[in-house]
Amino acid sequence: MTPDRRSVLKGLGAAAVVVGGGVVGWRLLDDDDAPAAPATTEPPLEPTSSLAEALAAVGGRYLEVAPDEADEEVLLAALPALEGTVPERPGQDLRVLAPQASGDHATGDVIVLDGWVLSLTEARASALYAL
């Protein structure tokens, strides 16, 4: 299942929040296939329910390509900064993942979902809301 355009755009907004208030690790490849510097954007000002829905859409897509991670314990183990709990307020509480997400981009630990490049941390955090 491929998410519709609105779900992808909501997911992109969610990803901006996931990486801590705006550092988005979208990497575009130039002609030499060298990654571009991360862009900085403002996080969306959407209600938590919309953000949770967007995270679920992105996370659901991630779980389609990584079904072996469709377990809350597995995902939380990969996201130690969450201290074993799924945040109730994703827009605020997922900021603790920013260093890990930035590190993923720096080391190339990314996944491409329908043309969008996400850190594994961002994808896994989103997947928590798809379960």
Q: Which residue has the higher pLDDT, 38 or 78?
A: 78
Alpha helices by DSSP H, listed for the chain, are 5-18, 48-65, 72-78, 90-93, 98-107, 120-128
CA-to-CA dists, residue 10 to 32, 48, 77, 104, angstroms:
30, 12, 26, 22
Q: What percent of the chain has pLDDT over 70?
A: 63
Q: Which residues pair with 24 in a beta bridge?
A: 39
Question: What pLDDT, in 10s, does the model give residues 45-63?
Answer: 554 457 888 888 999 999 9
What tokens were used for 58? 């992105």
Residue 50: give the domain boundaries: 5-128
CA-to-CA dists, residue 40 to 13, 24, 77, 79, angstroms:
12, 6, 28, 23
CB–CB of 56/129 below 8 Å?
yes
Question: What pLDDT, in 10s, does the model give residues 75-115?
Answer: 999 999 999 999 888 877 888 999 999 999 999 999 999 88
Give the C-alpha separation, 64 to 1, whole Å.
8
- Tell me whether strands 39-40 and 23-24 are parallel, antiparallel or unpaired: antiparallel
pTM: 0.64
How many domains are there within the chain?
A: 1
Q: Is the pLDDT of residue 2 over 60?
A: no
Give the C-alpha separation, 71 to 74, whole Å.
5
Average pLDDT for residues 2-18, to the nearest whole number?
Answer: 55
